[in-house]
A and B are shown apart, each in its own frame.
Chain A
Amino acid sequence: MEHHASLLAQWLTHALGLAQHPWPGFAHGTPLSVLERYDHLLNAALAALLAMLITGLVRKNLARIPGGLQQTFEGVVGGLKEMINDNIAHHGEKYLPFIGTMALFVFFNNLFGLLPGLSPGTSNWNVTLGAALVVFGYYNFHGMREQGFVKYWAHFAGPIWWLAPLMFPLEILGLLSRILSHSLRLFGNIAGEHVVAGIFFGLMPILLPVPMMFLGLFFGLIQTFVFTMLATIYLSGAVSHEH
């Protein structure tokens, strides 16, 4: 896959006068600055900063009579809370901060594909893999904390003891492949959408990319929802006690 650094990274490279040199085994030896090489990290960090800035702004200006931004965020938090309560049986709300953070991070990253000069951080596998690994670590940690170390790992062996040697490796494989599917789904959707929008832009820069950008907005939202929903379902599977 060719490497296209975002305009922001290129502009920053020129503005800061960063040195450009070829990277071994990357982009066929095109000379790139460190910002252009790690473009996805720049964009992901920007998205995270933007999310923090906006949520901080909402938090600072909390009012009894909410304005537009506060209402939007109340809707988002309410929706997430409802989703978590639907999926996690008891005391689900203590996971709301983590789930909400992941949702906002992924959402802002997805929407960066629509802003001129930026590229979505989630269109690089490294970013989505990081997000999926964080989710993976989080639900395993809380699974072990809620159920106890032995009981958590024992439930991968299944209910029938003589099937355990067969079930345990399979379940562990399934657990590990969740990282792959969780990250590749987000990455593939956003990257594919971004590539198609780019091709449309190359065909005719005016008006033609608009439907694709609308689809990008829609897909960004849907993929955020799917990512968050799957994180909640994995978490619910890990922490729920079997009565």
Chain B
Amino acid sequence: MKKFLTTAFLFTLAAVAFAQVPGAPQKSLFEGQFVAHLSLAIAAAGCGLGQGKAVVAACEGVARNPQAAGAIRTTMIIGLALIEALVIYVLVAAFAIK
């Protein structure tokens, strides 16, 4: 499955790369808005996974020890903000690329 997905991704990239108009000025695939959008998607995917793990751990912690809910919530929000900051950097970079 992983091999299939990788192959499909590479083929998609190749299709985009080879589908250039002959007369148009040669422009690399990895510049401009395409790369901004792609990088934001990758960053968001990673951030989603990371934040999901963090929230799962926090939920388990609160369920096991409801009295610690306040401290866990604060720590979780700080952690989420720090994870989210990485995506925000990519977002700012995507703004800058335009």
Give A residues with C-beta under 8 Å from B: 1, 83, 86, 125, 181, 184-185, 187-189, 191-192, 222, 225-226, 229-230, 233
Contacts and interface: CB of A to CB of B under 8 A. Distances in A.
A184 B81 contact: no
Contacts of A187: 88, 92
9 nearest A-B pairs in the assembled complex, by CB-CB distance: A188-B88, A226-B81, A185-B85, A1-B95, A188-B91, A188-B92, A192-B91, A181-B85, A185-B88
A184 B95 CA distance: 12
Interface string B44-71: 0000000000000000000000000000
Contact of B78 (A1, A86, A125, A229): A229
A229 B77 contact: yes
Contacts of A225: 77
Given A184-B85, A222-B81, A226-B81, 17 more contacts: A1-B96, A83-B74, A184-B88, A184-B92, A185-B81, A185-B85, A188-B85, A188-B91, A189-B84, A189-B88, A192-B88, A192-B91, A225-B77, A229-B78, A230-B78, A230-B81, A233-B78
Q: Interface residues of B: mostly helix, strand, loop or mixed?
A: helix
A191 B92 CA distance: 9
B70 to A, nearest CB: 9
B11 interface: no
B89 interface: yes
B19 to A, nearest CB: 27
18 contacts: A1-B95, A83-B74, A86-B74, A185-B81, A185-B84, A188-B88, A188-B91, A188-B92, A192-B88, A222-B77, A222-B81, A226-B77, A226-B78, A229-B77, A229-B78, A230-B78, A230-B81, A233-B78
A104 B89 CA distance: 25
A184 B96 CA distance: 13
B77 A184 contact: no
Nearest to B87: A188
A129 B42 CA distance: 27
